[in-house]
Structure 1
């Protein structure tokens, strides 16, 4: 947490410098703080248009902050998994390592190297595809095409959501050679290093995948394609978003938006013109977010899935909660409930405060708050007009949403205590 605060402070200072903005533009300290936090927390919400307000130096600062934030959160989350594994008792540690097939004490160097390799490969491939498209399809000079490719590759894989055009990616809504690589990079960044570590060893043998890998891949597919279907259906005839596109492009736009709710933050249609139904669907997808130890935010797909398994076991009257022929420990069930409920509380409090300090209605405010807490970066049009108080609230939500679930999950796992006595049991009425 201290490291992230330090990087945010340095970024705020750099973005406050006159050389960080275009001639004639000025930046308040709150705007610099907001932008630095948004970049380090790989969110993408912005109070100024990135291309028009920030100079080339300012854009490079944002690019570096995105890279540090994305790499840092993947590394931090993965290392915390190592620490948790090492601090558990011997039996629990062996069970954990047998289940994850990924981490163990002494793996810190391997984790850092692995995260760096995954990041480099994904960003280079995406940047190459984008650069080629800008160069060949749009006639951009090689230097500018390469810069566009690198910037948006980093923005997509880190799930940051910054773009160098005033309309984000809306001008490319009909270009699959731009939209598909960006969407795939966002999904790749949202899987998390533990999944890649397992796939690297056992990609041909799904039976040997860890439960975490199976849940992450399964839930990602369900939410990605289910969200795409729901968004496409609700926006099919909306003239402000997909109504004017061909059927094929509407499907692609729906898939792109669903991928961006994983925590990507780029938009190929005008999010502020979406229907309230689509905002609600997006709220759910953004709140769930991406995979653990990934560049994505939200409560994480594993948390969401485990909540479902807890409910299913209770409805069936089963004594144990199981998933994939594996029993879920009671401590992990309590940790899951704690993270989910505290996240709900953060969103509720943030929404209330934003309703007080801004003039916007509940549906737009809720969308913006969840986007900030889930470090998504999609906007219903609130952020730019939220004022200083609103910007400070969103800044706090971005930081809490980025660091909170990770550190809270690790703290809960490391705080397990044994007690040599138990109180008498009594059942209060429920329901």
Structure 2
């Protein structure tokens, strides 16, 4: 083989490698988020980013950058006390980029998957492809940007007016607080500029309710919000299956979570017991809504009853809507598995949801996402139990929170460096993992030209 032939062979192999990479867009999601996370780490390590003027250690900067980009909300330092105005600006920018990236990339991957399936399985997926289609890439990008800015602006306006009029904050400071918490709320980041998160505003509906509205809208996901707007304008005749599942499951979990938390914590002097009737209802509502999306807390999480912590773990693990800024396995995944179980209990060969048949591939994808999340949380919990002296309930709560939302019982800053790095991995995998795993599984779907003899093992 001549030198020219060797060069040509190498170039052909390189082009095949590049094409294989572009066929797996999930890799671009991981690489993009990883790059932004590393850039944020470098910026937060600069002396100008710290309030004291000293450089921040790499592990603290990495943890904060990961939490911001993955819009998780776990912190190892007080955001307002440790970071300077520049540092807080970096955190705010990472939150905005992370939330925008999650909504955009997840929406585009969902669009890619549905169009791919629409071409390969016309009978089962073509109708859903038409109803779920979000238009061209440019339309998705513009839609996410406009939606994000509008919701954040309205939330910031409401919070600014409250901070300035009722709490006597100067207009500039009130505007800063309003913008920061509006961006943090819509992107479900859970970062606050107060050492007690939002506990000081637990009974103030003019602060709590705008924040709840923002993180619920962000947590529902862009495809659902886009369809709601289309339906309101009369451009959509019926809801898609995805939107119906998301809205119904999200609403049911919101009601059940609020009732459970409020009932259990009603007389707890460390949480709701110190408030009046109206304050208990508001704080219970906020604390019941926050675990699945935002990561804010209006009561001391460390004072919650064990039963409430368990309920919160479940809500954090489930999370919010697909292609939204909330974490978790997503409410659609949870609902789909519930319907699969119901069909199996009834002895039905197929799963039907709202006059639609659920493809069997979706069963396996949902099961893979859930078991992958369980395995990640189990591994992280086991490692933290070995490395730290904390109890199982506190460590489990921390692991689930890193995977989903960002609430904490107060042990995050007491973890050793190895423990914090474990949570960094969980935050990154928990936020990027479900969407990339689900899309990769869907795009890898292929027909098998032969099958093996069937044999049924004993189950149960």
Deviation of the 1:184 alpha carbon: 1.2
Deviates more, 1:109-118 or 1:277-286: 109-118
| 1:74–1:193 contact (8 Å) kept in structure 2 | yes
Is 1:233 matched up with 2:263?
A: yes
| 1:131–1:148 contact (8 Å) kept in structure 2 | yes
Question: Which residue of structure 1 lines up, in the alignment, with residue 106 of structure 2?
Answer: 77
Q: Give secondary structure in 1 for the equivalent of 2:200.
A: helix
Q: How does 1:206-225 map to 2 (within 5 A)?
A: 208-225=238-255
| 2:72–2:189 contact (8 Å) kept in structure 1 | yes
Q: Spell out, residue by residue over 1:19-42, the C-alpha distance to the aligned partner (whole angstroms, 9 max, x if none).
A: 111126652100000000000000
Is 1:381 matched up with 2:410?
A: yes
Q: Give secondary structure in 2 for the equivalent of 1:299.
A: coil
Q: Give secondary structure in 2 for the equivalent of 1:284.
A: helix
Question: Which residue of structure 1 lines up, in the alignment, with residue 370 of structure 2?
Answer: 340
Supply the RMSD in Å over aligned alpha carbons. Answer: 1.5
Deviation of the 1:393 alpha carbon: 0.5
Cα distance in 1 for partners of 2:53, 2:218 equals 37
Question: Which residue of structure 2 lines up, in the alignment, with residue 371 of structure 1?
Answer: 401
Over 3 Å counting, the alpha-carbon distance change for 1:27 and 1:285 in structure 2 is same
Count of aligned residue pairs for this structure pair? 430
Is 1:54 matched up with 2:83?
A: yes
Query: Please, what TM-score do these two structures have when normalized by structure 1?
Result: 0.97
Q: Return the match for 1:183 from 207, 212, 222.
A: 212
Q: Return the match for 1:125 from 154, 161, 174.
A: 154
Question: Which residue of structure 2 lines up, in the alignment, with residue 354 of structure 1?
Answer: 384
Q: How does 1:190-339 map to 2 (within 5 A)?
A: 190-203=219-232, 208-339=238-369
Unaligned runs of 5+ in 1: none
Cα distance in 2 for partners of 1:277, 1:117 equals 40
Q: Give secondary structure in 2 for the equivalent of 1:337.
A: helix
Deviates more, 1:216-225 or 1:293-302: 216-225
Q: Spell out, residue by residue over 1:375-426, the C-alpha distance to the aligned partner (whole angstroms, 9 max, x if none).
A: x110011201011011100010000001000100000000111012121211
Unaligned runs of 5+ in 2: 1-29
Over 3 Å counting, the alpha-carbon distance change for 1:179 and 1:295 in structure 2 is same
Question: Which residue of structure 1 lines up, in the alignment, with residue 96 of structure 2?
Answer: 67
Question: Which residue of structure 1 lines up, in the alignment, with residue 171 of structure 2?
Answer: 142
Question: Which residue of structure 1 lines up, in the alignment, with residue 441 of structure 2?
Answer: 412
Q: Spell out, residue by residue over 1:241-295, the C-alpha distance to the aligned partner (whole angstroms, 9 max, x if none).
A: 1111012111111110122112201110000111111100000000000000000
Over 3 Å counting, the alpha-carbon distance change for 1:391 and 1:91 in structure 2 is closer
| 2:201–2:208 contact (8 Å) kept in structure 1 | yes
| 1:100–1:211 contact (8 Å) kept in structure 2 | no
| 2:157–2:178 contact (8 Å) kept in structure 1 | yes
Q: How does 1:390-409 map to 2 (within 5 A)?
A: 390-409=419-438
Cα distance in 2 for partners of 1:2, 1:91 equals 28
Deviates more, 1:92-101 or 1:272-281: 92-101
Question: Which residue of structure 1 lines up, in the alignment, with residue 23 of structure 2?
Answer: none
Deviation of the 1:121 alpha carbon: 1.1
Cα distance in 1 for partners of 2:86, 2:123 equals 49
Over 3 Å counting, the alpha-carbon distance change for 1:29 and 1:95 in structure 2 is same
Q: How does 1:13-28 map to 2 (within 5 A)?
A: 13-23=42-52, 27-28=56-57
Query: Please, what TM-score do these two structures have when normalized by structure 2?
Result: 0.91
Q: Give secondary structure in 2 for the equivalent of 1:45.
A: coil
Q: Give secondary structure in 2 for the equivalent of 1:243.
A: helix
Cα distance in 2 for partners of 1:186, 1:314 equals 35
Deviation of the 1:135 alpha carbon: 1.0
Question: Which residue of structure 2 lines up, in the alignment, with residue 427 of structure 1?
Answer: 456
